[in-house]
Chain A
Amino acid sequence: MKEIPVSKRDLIVALVLAVVIAVGILVIENWPLPTEQGSVASTKEDSLPSAVAVSGVERVFQINFQENKETWLKRICEVSTITGCELLSAGADAMWEKYTDAKSVVSAAAQATQKVADNGTEQVWQMNITLSSPLPGSNKTQDTAYVVLMRTDSGWKFDRFLMGEEINALLARIKSSVPTVEEGKK
């Protein structure tokens, strides 16, 4: 059997190298990778629109049947585009009737989790919403939504919730345009 002499110095160098490599792997694995769409409202530019998105969503789901419909709409319209305000107002009668019948008193907490689209004048944000209690016709208190924000003369405004077809198309487009990890290694 052949004896390989290892000096004390070589042993220390090898140990140091092993520790450095292990730490390196851990750091790389946990490093927050920037995506094409960006993630949480992390940049200064994104913080204002995301705050508008949060405010818009929370106001939509802040419901107290003892208030009247106009008070509810006015609160939403304060942070909405004119068209977004009119859109919600146009369909508000049936919604408010349900809330009144169910005596709904609900508050919402929203979080802007990801900006999924930005064309300069419009942004789409993915939102996580938590309700204090379920709304009529649903037993959920947590849901995900996608909202459109519009840049106006008076800053970013809440416009509307994306429709199902729009969400599917948008997510499919993002999926096809962002390279996978395997593709990135090639």
Chain B
Amino acid sequence: MKRFFLFIVVLTLLIPTAVYAQDTDPWSEVFQPDGNLKPDLINLGVTTDHPDWMSMDLPFGQSLDLDANYHRYQTPRGNIVVLPSASTLFFMAMNPQESGLASSYGSLGSGYGSLISFLGLAAGDNLDWGRIQAEHPEYTSPDQFWGAVLNGNQDVWTYFSGWGFITNLLQMTWNDGALRSTYLLYLNGTQNCTSIPGGCSGVVTPPPPPRECPDPSVVLQQPVLAIQKTAPNNPLVVGQDTETRRGADIQARVTVPPVIFTWHEPIYEVRDICRSARVGETPNCNTRSGSIFLDGVSDTKRVFKECRTHVERLPDAVASLQATGALDAASQVWISGQLSQSHYGAYIHQENFTLIPGIGSWTGGCGGGATCTATGQALRVPFADPGTFSLRLDVVTTGTRFRGIPITQPRRIGIDGTMQVYVTLPALVP
């Protein structure tokens, strides 16, 4: 249970705060105003490393070398965003200098709070807060103590009262590699990649130039939903239908058109130039036309040429589909009132049905054109009450990603439908 709470809070911490969206903050290069990662980040993927500070010493000079694991992104200006795994982050916090945590922009700025929250949750009851208060009354909250640990002013090991949480933390990381709570930002990380967590693996050098093309755009097309009765034509309440408890069949369908993501790639060309000669270089060309003396050196220069437009059709698959049926209020009044008066003992048998998933199930997928569909059926639904049933279909999509970067968030969409259920009433004919 404790691990579940930690997992939930870690997920919550993944939602970046609005402070990142300010233009003057380096974080504004990382997050969009809505908190999503910017689409022009380069996803460097997951890097593993075997740093000394993640090595556990064993007797007889043996050691258990654990993997440090980071998911990293590169910004257009050459900064590197590092998301360590939960266990890596814990060991980084225990070794802030050696691990490079202390040199990250995030550890000094707005990323600090989430890191402290993570440490508090990871250590939990294993931190002897009573003893800390007795020996260091200057810390009025555990957060202050963790801050001192991160600054290298306190030795946290002195105040741990339990030991099992470390292996639990490691197991949590192994079970869920995506569990990463804190974004660390390394300014000019591409230039100093040897000193950042994960090293230079996959780092794009030189970093891409500042954006010269238009911002990417996203076009969302409205999904098409339907929920209806498919058979029989005029369903009777169960017991009165021709087959034994035939009931009615309900079908739900949804078609989600692709999300159109348009982005623009700057194209560069290499041009021959004659640049000024540096000290020690032998001039071999003229920097100015008409000049008699050789004063420059032949070189090449990368020059922006054009923007190439890419249109991506991204599938937004169906993540969940739910269908329900409910006898409407007017029908309930009619059964309880008029019908029960003319046919003694008439009552409402079942007013609500969980159709899909429940009586039926659904399947879905995405086609080659990135259009996603899902279909669900609930067969032989035993409607026992006559009247109008309100049908409801609710769908949640997965959202879209491009090269690992979220483009659109999951969508929640729904539609209503109706169906009639009939009853045959006997009447005395004089």
Interface positions of A (Cβ within 8 A of B): 60-61, 81-84, 86-88, 90-92, 94-95, 119, 121-122, 124, 129, 131, 134-135, 137-138, 140, 143-145, 148, 150, 159-166, 168-169, 172-173
Cβ proximity bits B141-174 to A, threshold 8 Å, 1 near / 0 not = 0000000000000010111111110111011001
Interface positions of B (Cβ within 8 A of A): 50, 56-67, 94, 155, 157-164, 166-168, 170-171, 174
Q: Which of B59, B158, B170 makes the CB contact (< 8 A) with A172?
A: B158
- A-chain residues with CB within 8 Å of residue B67 when the two chains form the complex: 90
A124 to B371, CA, bound (A): 58
A164 to B31, CA, bound (A): 40
Q: Which of A86, A122, A161, A164 makes the CB contact (< 8 A) with B170?
A: A86
Could you tell me if B174 and A145 are in contact, using CB atoms closer than 8 angstroms?
no
Could you tell me if A83 and B162 are in contact, using CB atoms closer than 8 angstroms?
no
Could you tell me if B60 and A131 are in contact, using CB atoms closer than 8 angstroms?
yes
A95 to B67, CA, bound (A): 14
Could you tell me if A86 and B171 are in contact, using CB atoms closer than 8 angstroms?
yes
Closest 4 CB pairs of A and B: A91-B64, A83-B167, A138-B61, A165-B157
Residue of A nearest to B158 (CB): A169
Could you tell me if B65 and A94 are in contact, using CB atoms closer than 8 angstroms?
yes
List 8 A-B residue pairs with CB atoms under 8 Å apart, sorted by A's residue number: A83-B164, A83-B167, A86-B174, A95-B63, A122-B164, A135-B62, A140-B61, A159-B167
Most interface-central of B66, B67, B164 (chain A CB within 10 A): B164
Q: Is the interface of B mostly helix, strand, loop or mixed?
A: mixed
If A91-B65, A169-B158 touch, whether A140 touches B171 (CB-CB below 8 Å) is no
Could you tell me if B167 and A137 are in contact, using CB atoms closer than 8 angstroms?
no
Besides A83-B170, A90-B170, A163-B56, 12 other A-B contacts (C-beta < 8 A): A61-B59, A84-B167, A91-B56, A91-B66, A122-B163, A129-B59, A145-B58, A145-B59, A159-B163, A159-B164, A160-B56, A161-B58
- B-chain residues with CB within 8 Å of residue A166 when the two chains form the complex: 157, 160, 163
Most interface-central of A83, A94, A122, A164 (chain B CB within 10 A): A83
Could you tell me if B163 and A90 are in contact, using CB atoms closer than 8 angstroms?
no
A72 to B379, CA, bound (A): 55
Could you tell me if B60 and A140 are in contact, using CB atoms closer than 8 angstroms?
yes
Could you tell me if A164 and B57 are in contact, using CB atoms closer than 8 angstroms?
yes
A90 to B69, CA, bound (A): 13
- B-chain residues with CB within 8 Å of residue A137 when the two chains form the complex: 61-62
- A-chain residues with CB within 8 Å of residue B57 when the two chains form the complex: 161, 163-164
If A122-B164, A168-B157 touch, whether A95 touches B170 (CB-CB below 8 Å) is no
- B-chain residues with CB within 8 Å of residue A144 when the two chains form the complex: 59
Within the complex, the shortest CB–CB distance from A93 to chain B, in Å, comes to 9
Residue of A nearest to B54 (CB): A91
